[in-house]
Chain A
Amino acid sequence: MTPAAAPDAPLLQVGAITKTFGGFTALDNISVDIRKGERFGLIGPNGSGKTTLINCISGALRPQTGNVIFCGEDITQLPPHLRARRGIARSFQIPRPFKSMTVLENLMVGLDFAKVDSSLPEEDVAMSILTRMGLASKASAPTGTLSQVELRKMELARAMAVRPKLLISDEAMAGLSSSEVDEVLDLLISLGEEDITIIMIEHIMQAVMRFSERVMCLDAGKIIAIGAPAEVMGNKRVQEAYLGT
């Protein structure tokens, strides 16, 4: 079970997890493997359980049954910060910046606590991430002054500061203009090219199609389709879930 022993073993294994709130079943026996380096799209109508699933992966919620295995280690019971240190980072559907800090300081939190070995001074590392994200000019701006797209990028940059193996982007493009969507999408794709596995939750279909190597569609807490993007989009149940019947 050591992670190094099996190079083809999935980076993340979600094993039969179920999450209920009161009488409501948000996730019903979900199993999925995410391969190392994969660009994985997660779609589904509102309330289908997408965010609950990534909350279970990132540790904000614990499922009632089932387990989450990351790099061969069972992390089901770990709190979020230990998962972050093992390489799981996320952005939030509604951005959650550290409001009393500047953009640079937001990144420093991740660098301070994620225990990344680096010979460079932390500030230089943070600046290089910001430069990648096109936010270098905003480094010393308070987060309250950022525009919507800058805030989204800042969240991704902060997630990058923990040096993730797996990055989960929760609707990072919601509410952005189409040129901004392309901007963020290009960023995510370029991150995917450097060995970071990415799960992307998105409603904007063109973005999902362009980004994903594989797509999974949830509806009412169940997987209704999983596979190549075109295949999933062509699936009748997916179309029904989206269009309503």
Chain B
Amino acid sequence: MFSMDLLLGAVVLGVLLGCFYAAVSVGLSVSFGLLDVPHVAHPAFLVLASYGVYQLNESYDIDPLLAGLAITPLFFLFGLLAYRVYYETFERRGSDAGVRGIAFFFGIAFIIEVLIILQFGVDQRSVSATYIGKSWRFGEFRIPIRQLVAFAVALALTVLLAVYLSKTFMGRAIRAVAQDEEALRLMGANPVRIKQFAFGIATAVLGIAGALLIIVAPVEPTLDRAYIGRTFCVVVMAGLGSISGTLIAAIILGVAESIVLTLFGASWAPAISFAMLLGVLAVRPQGLLGR
């Protein structure tokens, strides 16, 4: 039953999976981690992006990665809009924003889910590309090329975002607004506009992440529910707002899921991220790796 090779294979696949989880979580790391928006609709946005990619791939035979890139500007605008609505209705009025803000995004997530069902039905959807369906062989062990593609793109995306946030002027402003809004205001910057822009970036990233999601495996409308656990697990474990932490946390989750899948079977896999999330919340709510 158990062999070292099997375990090693699980770890390798887990690392690949983990980088992919980093890419789908990194937007949440900005919107929830840095901006403190209770964005429970993040995974629903992600699945919506996957369906956008599916539509472009299906109708025009566009490569899923290019399709993901193509919808990125759209998602950027979508993010700007979503933050504006959230800000105007909750943050600015202040009172009772907690409950209503959470309920707002929860409602949005459900609306997106149902709209996808109404448009595409409940069946699984997948995309076609030259690198999907083939795999590389290493002795007994196979790595699907789609996993490798997702890994490479995910890693690039995460690193790029990390560089953007630490090296560019706007990126630094976003980090500053998370730490001390008042100081930024005193310097003459408009914190709300910076936050809105940051939320736009966080949402735009989902264009690519959504493409990766549907490249890695077929999607269905309610897939967002499983990703609530995964994305929040990664972001909380990473320590809110830490991008490098996000990558490490995502790899930990990916390896854990992969090992449990190999040893205990698929029926236990969905609980892993949620169990880790609960564990982290109970033991170290400020995150394992972060500030």
Measuring CB to CB, which residues of chain A are less than 8 angstroms from any residue of chain B? 99-100
Contact = CB atoms under 8 A, between A and B. Distances in A.
Interface in B100-139: none
B239 to A, nearest CB: 14
Contacts of A100: 95-96
A100 B94 CA distance: 13
Q: Could you tell me the dominant secondary structure of chain B's interface residues?
A: loop
Contacts, number: 3
Interface of B: 95-96
Top 3 closest pairs, chain A to chain B, by CB: A99-B95, A100-B96, A100-B95
A197 B95 CA distance: 34
A100 B98 CA distance: 14
A100 B99 CA distance: 14
A100 B95 CA distance: 9
Nearest to B94: A99
Contacts of A99: 95
A99 B93 CA distance: 13
A82 to B, nearest CB: 23
B216 to A, nearest CB: 39
Contacts of B96: 100
A99 B96 CA distance: 9
A99 B95 CA distance: 8
3 contacts: A99-B95, A100-B95, A100-B96
A38 to B, nearest CB: 35
A100 B96 CA distance: 9
Nearest to B95: A99
Nearest to A99: B95
Contacts of B95: 99-100
A99 B98 CA distance: 14
A99 B97 CA distance: 13
A200 B23 CA distance: 52
A98 to B, nearest CB: 11
A197 B96 CA distance: 35
Nearest to A22: B291
B113 to A, nearest CB: 32
A219 B95 CA distance: 35
B98 to A, nearest CB: 12
B101 to A, nearest CB: 16
A102 to B, nearest CB: 15
